[in-house]
Structure formats: C-alpha cells, structure tokens
Amino acid sequence: MTTKQFYLLCLIGITFIGGMLMFLLWRQIKLKSSENRGMLFISLAMFSWTLVGIYKFSDPPMPSLINAINDRILSAFSNMFLLASLPYFPNVFEDLKERFSIFRKPDQWINSIFIFFAIITVIFTLIDRSVESDPGRKAIIAVDSLISTTTILLISIALYQSLSRFWSDKVLKVFLAVMFILLISTQVILPMIAIFPEIFRPFYLYALVLLLLGLTFFNFVSIAYFGMVNMEMTAIADIEYGKSKKAIYNPDALKVGYDKQRKLYFVRIGFISSVEPAKVKEIEVSTSKLLQPFANWVLFALARKHDCKLSNQDLSTSKFRMVEFWNRDGEIKLTQEQVFNNDRGFFDLKIEISSISIEDPEFLRSKFIIREAVLKHEDNFEKLAQRISAEKSFSRASKQEQLIQYLFDSMNS
C-alpha cells in the first residue's frame, strides 16, 4: 500500500465517522425540536469529503485535466454545505446579519449558495471542453483553493466563537485558534504543492498529516459543540420547579427596550411568587449587541400588545432562542410553557396586555433586525393592517411601513 492510498483510507474513515456522528446527533436533536440544519449541512460536507477520498482511491483512468475538474467539483460540494451551515450558528456574524438581509434569512442564503456553486460547476465544465493544458489545470486548482480557504476560514470563525460560549479558559481558546489556523493553512499548502511540485514536493507528506489532524480536530470540535447545544437544550427543557423548598416564580410583567444611558438592549420581567403573590421580583437581562432573540422578544411584545397571535415554521426555534437568551443570565429560569400560550399552532405571550411595555420604541423601530422580525410575521398582523388603511392602491412596501409605524407608535400612547 502506497503512502497516498493510506492517506486516502484515513481520509475516508475520518470524514465518514465524523459525518455519521453529526448526522445521528442532528437526528436526535431534530426529534426534540426543529433545531437546527447547521449540523446536518456540516455532516453532508464530511460525506462529500468521503466521496472525494473514494474517487481518488479508485483512481479512474482519465486525463489529468478532467481529473482535476472532477476533484474540484467534488470539493465544491463540501464547500457548499459548509457555507450553507453558517446562518445556523446563533450570535455569530451579527454584523453581517445587520447589514445584509440575505444572511438574516437562512433559506435565502442557502439558495444563493447553491446558485453560486452551480455557476462554479458550469465554469469547470466549460474549462473541461476548452482547455487542455497544464496551466489550465493549475488555474482550476488555484480557484478552488481560494474558495476552500475562504470557506474553512468562515466556518472556523463560526465554530470558534460558538465554542467560546462554553469554553472560556484562555489557554483552551488559544489552542483552538492555533488548530483552526493550521487547518486553514492546509487549504493553501496542498494546492501550492500541486501547482509548484518542484518547489514544495518535500512538504507533501507533512501537509497530508496536517490535513488529517486538522479534519480530526474539526470533527471533534463540531461534535463537541453540537453535543453541548443538545445538552443545553435538554437542560432547559428539563428544568423542574418545586424540587426544593424555594418558591415558584411565574412571569407577570414584561418590559423590553433600549436604555440610551447605559447603551444596552434589555428584557425586564416582573415575577410573582407562589408564596407571596403580592410581591413582585424584577429581573433584567441585557446585551450591548442587538441579537435576534432580543428582536423576537420585541416581536412577541408587540403582537401581545395588539392582541395578535403568531404562527411561522421557524417559530419553534425563535421561542427556544428567546428562552435560552433569558436563561443564560437570568437569575430566575424560564420554560417555554411559562412564557407562551399555544392555540393550535398560534402563539402569544401569557403575560397580560396591560403588563407589557416597550422603552424607546422609536429607536427600536429603526433597527433592521427588529423590522425584519416583524415583517416576517406580517401575515399574522393582517387584520390590524386592514384596519390601518383601506386603500388598495398602496404598494406592499408602503403598507409594511405603515404597519411598522402603527405598531411602534401605538406603544407611546
């Protein structure tokens, strides 16, 4: 057995085992909730690497240029799935979500990624028909290397920031950063060896070992992260009250808003005790960044204030993230059953309308993430929108703006 064959067998084994573990873990989490397709896409990316290994191990007798194109097409699939997973990492790339609507909507992002890689595949096919030279093969490798490096860089940033939620030790974070950098470097070193073999050939074996170590590390941290997410979801779902002698607290009042003096977005909930119903305990959770879970708290506050119920295919994830956002720093933990009413798939807050308020609604209304959260559920405000204006000549954008203005302006009254 040659060194290349041994490497390919290791590659096939590492990626298949990692992909299968992530797929099975995704299936377990999916059975409990709709969270989330990011893990599925990463497992599919690993299976794509497995196909690359099998293809190269079989070593079909083809011209070198066609082999290079086939390699790049198979590689494009793994890059496509990794990029498709990015919007499903919570609290990552928030600046991109703020600036680009395409990144705030996972389905739209996935469609764009699929279209982009379909174009890349067509370009490789055209090169196959028109170029028959070594420079053509090297050009294909260079383009694929650029895409792969960018992809691995982005997914590494997403995983690093997500793992930092759970692993706060500085030494551990430095180790993670070093390993991710080494993994990214393999996407530069290996193509350089293929393009300039006479210069970089002595480093070939070391680069292969580094790639195998990098993929093993990538699989481990991916499984560790999604495993911890699963444990976190299970812990939140299994929160039980009354196991101790402490009083049970239920939410009775809600205030969301932006504190200009402190420059913080906050969710403030007033709790009543089962022991002392007349006593209200106020607890606040705040953040300096405008996060999607906070936007959903504003959305539900607006809907409840206007006696509207919400229904959407992504609502189960939104509700989970809202409760997770609160439980991360809240002194009193919440469950979805305490917060939401469920009327045959239509949800609203259990808190009384008179006990809900919003601070600085004018400022919140100007934020894209909050506006998008509301407009994503505009169908649930249909009766309200009809009440606002009976003019049929208004454009949809104008009606949406009127709805936003009415929802927030009425909070000042």
What percent of the chain is modeled with pLDDT above 70? 85
Q: The whole model's pTM is what?
A: 0.58
Domain boundary residue, one of 186, 202, 237: 237
Under the banding of pLDDT at 50, 70 and 90, the label for residue 230 is confident
DSSP secondary structure code for residue 310 in this structure: B
Are both 316 and 405 inside the same structural domain?
yes
Q: Which residues of 54-70 are buried (b: 16+ CB within 10 A; e: fewer)?
A: ebbeeeeeeeebebbbb
Q: What is the mean pLDDT of the chain?
A: 83
Structural domains counted in the chain:
2
Specify if 243 maps to a domain.
Answer: no
Structural domain contains residue 271:
yes
Query: pLDDT tens-digit profile of 258-308?
Result: 999 999 999 999 998 877 777 788 999 999 999 999 999 999 999 999 889
CA dihedral 286, 292, 293, 297 (to 10 degrees): 90
Same domain, 323 and 207: no
Query: Which residue do the tokens 């420079």 mark?
Result: 135
Based on the fold, state whether residues 230 and 253 are members of the same structural domain.
no
Q: 266 and 129: one domain?
A: no
- For 45-77, what is each residue's pLDDT tens digit? 999 889 888 888 887 665 555 555 556 667 788
Q: Is residue 182 part of a domain?
A: yes
- pLDDT for res 245: 47
Q: Which residue has the tokens 């990624």?
A: 113
Token pair of 358 as six digits: 């919003």
Distance, in Å, from the CA atom of 219 to the CA atom of 154, rounded to the nearest integer, reads: 16
Same domain membership, residue 356 and residue 270: yes
In angstroms, the CA 199 to CA 189 distance is 12
Shared-domain flag, residues 46 and 158: yes
- Asked if residue 213 and residue 130 are part of one domain, the reply reads yes
Could you tell me the pLDDT band of residue 241, with boundaries at 50, 70 and 90? very low
Last residue of a domain, one of 237, 260, 287: 237
Looking at residue 344, what is its pLDDT?
84
Measured on CA atoms in the order 112, 114, 117, 121, is the torsion positive or negative? negative
Residue 214 tokens read as 């990098």
In the structure, what pLDDT confidence band is assigned to residue 194 with cuts at 50, 70 and 90?
Answer: confident
In a domain, residue 99? The reply is: yes
Range of the domain at 307: 249-412
φ/ψ of residue 207, rounded to 5: -65, -40
How many angstroms separate the CA atoms of 340 and 345, rounded?
Answer: 11
In a domain, 55, yes or no: yes
Write the DSSP assignment of 117-157 as a string of letters.
HHHHHHHHHHHHHH--SHHHHHHHHHHHHHHHHHHHHHHHH
How far apart CA 396 and CA 413 sit, in angstroms, is 26
Q: Does residue 413 carry a pLDDT above 60?
A: no
Average pLDDT over residues 8-36: 81
Is 349:339 a contact under the CB 8 Å cutoff? yes
* Whether residue 289 is found in the same domain as residue 205: no
CATH number at residue 204: 1.20.1070
Please choose, from the candidates 249, 291, 239, 295, the residue with its C-alpha nearest in 3D space to the C-alpha of residue 269. Answer: 249
Residue 178: pLDDT over 80: yes
Domain-terminating residue out of 179, 210, 237: 237
Residues 149-171: what's their mean pLDDT? 89
Say if 27 falls within a structural domain.
yes
Residue 122 lies in a domain: yes
- pLDDT at 242 (0 to 100): 45
Asked whether residue 218 falls in the same domain as residue 366, the answer is: no
278 and 208 in a single domain? The answer is no
Q: What is the pLDDT of residue 105?
A: 77
Q: 327: closest CA among 352, 293, 362, 281?
A: 293
Do 227 and 303 fall into the same domain?
A: no
Residues 280 and 208 in one domain: no
Cα–Cα distance measured from residue 172 to residue 21, given in angstroms and rounded to the nearest whole number: 24
- Confidence check: pLDDT of 199 > 90: no
User: Letter for the amino acid at 215?
Assistant: L
